[in-house]
Amino acid sequence: MHFVTNHRHWMGLALQIADQAAQEGEVPVGAVIVTSGGELLATGANRREQDHDPTAHAEIIALRAAGHRHQDWRLEGCTLYVTLEPCAMCASAILQARLRLLVYGADDSRAGAIQSVLNLTVGPAAFHRLQVIAGVEEQACRRMLSGWFAQKRASPDD
């Protein structure tokens, strides 16, 4: 499979997971972790509302599942696909996991910690060099998020 097509494939799965999260009342963010051999290792969706847990971001859920399945917290060689630019908490966890590559869809102009607001992947605290590809399926990711938030604002019950 062609490299770019492969990124779109995995981001498509992350979008499906984000859609599931939206249907469950969560902010629609989905994450997928893939091994260096191209095998699906773990997935995660936002679960903050369901779990009553401020750390239950899609990336954290996926990292925990990947570490458990991999039987190692070091996920060297793995790639994380996520529909929204990670926040500071998630960016730090991604660096801790020693992932090889982060691929994300939409920038987060409010809390993005990869390039939009902060860049935690460079500087003295970035002990691990993480490769980053931004903007994969950006429009689809952005549409999903903006549509969900528009619907939430329009709903008087929430």
**Catalytic one of 59, 76, 85, 138:** 59
From the number of C-beta atoms within 10 Å of its C-beta (0-12, 13-18, 19+), residue 145 rates as buried
Residue at 24: amino acid letter:
E
Give the C-alpha separation, 50 to 58, whole Å.
12
Distant-in-sequence, close-in-space partners of 2: CB < 8 Å, separation ≥ 6: none
**Rounded CA gap, 105 and 129, in Å?**
20
Please, what is the Cα angle at 103 between 119 and 146, to 5 degrees? 85
Is 59 designated active site?
Answer: yes
Cα 20 from Cα 124, distance rounded (Å): 38
Q: What is the set of active-site residues?
A: 59
